[in-house]
Structure 1
Amino acid sequence: MFRRLVSHGCRNLTEHISSISRQPIERGGFGIIYRGRLGDGTLVAIKLLSQRGRVSSRSKCKLAKRASLESYSWSKCNHPSIHELLGVARYRGHIAMISPWMEFGSLPKYISRHPDVDRLQLAHQTAIGLAYLHLSGTVHGDLKGSNVLVSANGVAKLTDFGSTKLREHTLRFTTTTSCDSFSVRYTAPEVIEGGPQTMQSDVYALGMTILEIVTGEIPYSNVKVEAAVLYKILRGELPPRPNNQHLSSNSAGDKLWSLIAVCWSTKPSDRPDSAAIRDQLEIMAIEARRT
């Protein structure tokens, strides 16, 4: 599978890694992130897909396929609002995905450390990235604040295509079962009920992510138990409108809340497409800077 990835255009960086952290810098879901450096001095993130506990040989094979598919999907993305994949490498028996190290980290970390940052601009940049993916025929499948990184010049970049589906590009691996996982607070009801990830479910997640950006809190932040969040989603209970700087009871706040709320429409077909959200957020960000 590794050779096939390289033959399909992924750069082999195995021999270019000069150093790597002894312990993972971050863990979460199926991913483990190490920090490393390439021979030319470039600081990089080295991502391995993994499962906790004992893993059967069959599960290892499925995980390798998932890593291959994610790497291939990622390699086809080339846009300023998408975190760049520099290449792949063999590391500790895994396929590792190599990308530039983002010192500012994820959106939630960046916002907590820079509370006065332009939130609408970050939301707009996130929507730009998603609109690019959708125009390319790609479903992200796990959009949330922690899967958006911030570059050194303050640009939001989408990453972690854990559930990506490509329509244009196909790499011939046999997938016997799904390894997908989802983040309940950002997941559309139809997906929780067993439906497929779609561009419309991405838009639902984008609405939740915009809410997270402008409030600095995860959706349903007052509900601590995931099962309780799941129950609320399936009952059609949406997060209440907060009263903060961006969502206060004025014309600008009403427009933004209406945009967020329509992303959560019960019928997927009633949700706007990501390009429309991108365009509306651009207008809102410009108007906010004028006031």
Structure 2
Amino acid sequence: TIRIWDVDTGETVVGPLKGHLDSVWSISVSPDGTRIASGSQDFTIRVWNTQTGNLVAGPFEGHHSPVLSVAFSPDGARIVSGSQNGSVYIWEAQTGTILLSLFGGNHGVVFSTNFSPDGKRIVYGCGNGNVIVQTMAEQKSAEGDTETAPTPPGALPALMVSQMSNADIFNQLVAHGCTDMTSTIDSNGYSASPVYRGGFRDVWKGHLTDGTKVAVKTWQFSYMSQEDPKELKRAMEQVHNWTKLKHENVQELLGVVMFQGRLGMVFPWMPHVNLREYILEHPDVDRYALCAQFATGLSFLHTQGMVHGGLRAANILVSTDGTLKLGDFDHSILTDSTLVFSNTPSPAGRTLRWMAPELLTSTDGDELEQAVKRDKRTDVYALGMTFLEIITSQVPYAELKSEYGVLNALEQKQRPTRPNELLGDTPKEGTMWRLLMWCWDYEPSARPRAEDVLMMLGMMNPR
């Protein structure tokens, strides 16, 4: 709870303010004194009226770990927040709209955040002992001229002093060997609006000059920081490596293009948005065969030294002939880099139900100093959760309605409830459940490799 006290008498004058589901780690009073923002262990931010104690905005959802710091901007229009997993968000204080999101880097937990007096900078203190100051400036076009593109009320133009524009990134990717699709894509063949919006990207339907349908994914970051050249190089290499992946169960990246001033990734067009929708449209499909295809794609990916980082049915595409394609490598490419996203709805997405427990906990028993990075073992954990999703047509922990409930279950080492009507006592179903439990082992080193999972599936479903 939160209380407002009389500093002279020590008496509570407003409160207790109740609404958060767990400990409140940080509060900030608005410059005019009419509101209080609070950040909590329950991943959310709430805004309260200081006179009545009523909730006036929130909960703001987007963080995937406890919110350890909140602060109002000097004009009271924005709130900056920092969390245990190292992410920093800027919110519109009245609506909770995410205006800016910073992910990645090696700074660790964000313990403290604030705005500069002029509101043009944010500063945050990190678990590795560093204090980061980020300066916001006007966006620049590919030609280098200052743009005056409209900015939503309360939003900060998303740019830092040290930066690479979308055009710079495009040129670097082409220089690293990615195919430039500019001459082969029909500039007049794009859909009038995105066919899909989600996370930190939009997907547009387009056509090549020969009429072939393609999907163009535009990442919604405004720049990539050059603060850490190694991370910048790593992200470039990840995209380049993706262009070299050729496997029937992995989405093919055809090349890159500049579209509406943003970097676009070009892929073959898939008729089904994702595997979840495909299963709902084809309820009688062989679920074990789908799991085998999924494991085949991931096993190949791991043999190429790559990690997906965001596995779930929503990130698996389905071709016309029913072939699964692992797609949406955004988490692997972007979230370990120092990136800034602007005007995006909850870039982290709702992925807690598929996340390995070690991604939510500290590597140090006392201090939350360094976030655990996604690797092959966290992929295998998510593989098991996605198998459950494929078999049941429901998200993992479907019996738990809130992410906070899922977090509590993970902290208590509670695994998803066994769906006995689908995974009963028959040899095949029993083996599948044991395989899932193996993938969900709380000790990462005890989990199977993707190729081990594939081998067990082959034994359950021999051709």
Mark yes or no: TM-score above 0.5: yes
User: Aligned residue for 1:227?
Assistant: 404
What does residue range 22-61 of structure 1 map to in structure 2 within 5 Å? 22-50=192-220, 59-61=222-224
TM-score (normalised: structure 2): 0.55
- CA shift, 1:83, in A, is 0.5
SS in 1 for 2:331: coil
110-119 or 230-239: which moved more?
230-239
User: Aligned residue for 1:261?
Assistant: 437
AA in 2 matched with 1:38: L
266-275 or 155-164: which moved more?
155-164
Cα distance change of structure 1 residues 143 and 230 upon mapping to structure 2, 3 Å threshold? same
- CA shift, 1:134, in A, is 0.8
Q: Report the Cα distance in structure 2 between the residues aligned to 1:178 and 1:110, rounded to whole angstroms.
A: 33
SS in 1 for 2:258: strand
Residue 426 of structure 2 corresponds to residue 250 of structure 1: yes
- CA shift, 1:68, in A, is 4.7
User: Aligned residue for 2:395?
Assistant: 218
Matched residues, number: 271
AA in 1 matched with 2:410: I
Q: Report the Cα distance in structure 1 between the residues aligned to 2:337 and 2:398, rounded to whole angstroms.
A: 36
Cα distance change of structure 1 residues 67 and 31 upon mapping to structure 2, 3 Å threshold? farther
AA in 1 matched with 2:458: E
Match of 1:205 among 382, 387, 397: 382
Q: Report the Cα distance in structure 2 between the residues aligned to 1:95 and 1:68, rounded to whole angstroms.
A: 13
User: Aligned residue for 1:137?
Assistant: 305
User: Aligned residue for 1:55?
Assistant: none
Q: Report the Cα distance in structure 1 between the residues aligned to 2:277 and 2:237, rounded to whole angstroms.
A: 28
- CA shift, 1:178, in A, is 8.8
Q: Which runs of 5+ in 1 are unaligned?
A: 52-58, 166-173
AA in 2 matched with 1:39: T
What does residue range 1-291 of structure 1 map to in structure 2 within 5 Å? 1-18=169-186, 19-50=189-220, 59-62=222-225, 68=236, 71-164=239-332, 175-176=337-338, 181=348, 183-193=351-361, 194-245=371-422, 247-286=423-462
- CA shift, 1:271, in A, is 0.3
Q: Report the Cα distance in structure 1 between the residues aligned to 2:340 and 2:354, rounded to whole angstroms.
A: 19
CA deviations over 1:130-184 (Å, ceiling 9, x no partner): 111111111111111111111111111101112326xxxxxxxx95469894711
Greater share of residues in strand: 2
SS in 2 for 1:139: coil
- CA shift, 1:69, in A, is 5.6
Q: Report the Cα distance in structure 2 between the residues aligned to 1:234 and 1:73, rounded to whole angstroms.
A: 36
AA in 2 matched with 1:48: T
Q: Report the Cα distance in structure 2 between the residues aligned to 1:176 and 1:207, rounded to whole angstroms.
A: 29
Q: Is the 8 A contact 1:2 1:68 kept in 2?
A: no
User: Aligned residue for 1:170?
Assistant: none
Q: Is the 8 A contact 2:235 2:337 kept in 1?
A: no
Q: Report the Cα distance in structure 1 between the residues aligned to 2:181 and 2:244, rounded to whole angstroms.
A: 17
- CA shift, 1:197, in A, is 0.7
Q: Is the 8 A contact 2:224 2:340 kept in 1?
A: no
Report which of the two structures shows the higher radius of gyration computed on alpha carbons: 2
SS in 2 for 1:255: helix
Percent of counterpart pairs with the same letter? 39
AA in 1 matched with 2:446: D
Which structure has more RCO (C-alpha within 8 Å, separation ≥ 6)?
1
Q: Report the Cα distance in structure 1 between the residues aligned to 2:375 and 2:235, rounded to whole angstroms.
A: 20
Q: Is the 8 A contact 2:311 2:354 kept in 1?
A: yes
Q: Is the 8 A contact 1:121 1:282 kept in 2?
A: no
- CA shift, 1:256, in A, is 0.4
AA in 2 matched with 1:12: D
Q: Report the Cα distance in structure 2 between the residues aligned to 1:75 and 1:30, rounded to whole angstroms.
A: 20
Q: Report the Cα distance in structure 2 between the residues aligned to 1:101 and 1:282, rounded to whole angstroms.
A: 30
- CA shift, 1:222, in A, is 2.0
179-188 or 79-88: which moved more?
179-188
AA in 1 matched with 2:210: D
- CA shift, 1:196, in A, is 1.3
Cα distance change of structure 1 residues 116 and 277 upon mapping to structure 2, 3 Å threshold? same
Q: Which runs of 5+ in 2 are unaligned?
A: 1-168, 227-231, 342-346, 362-370
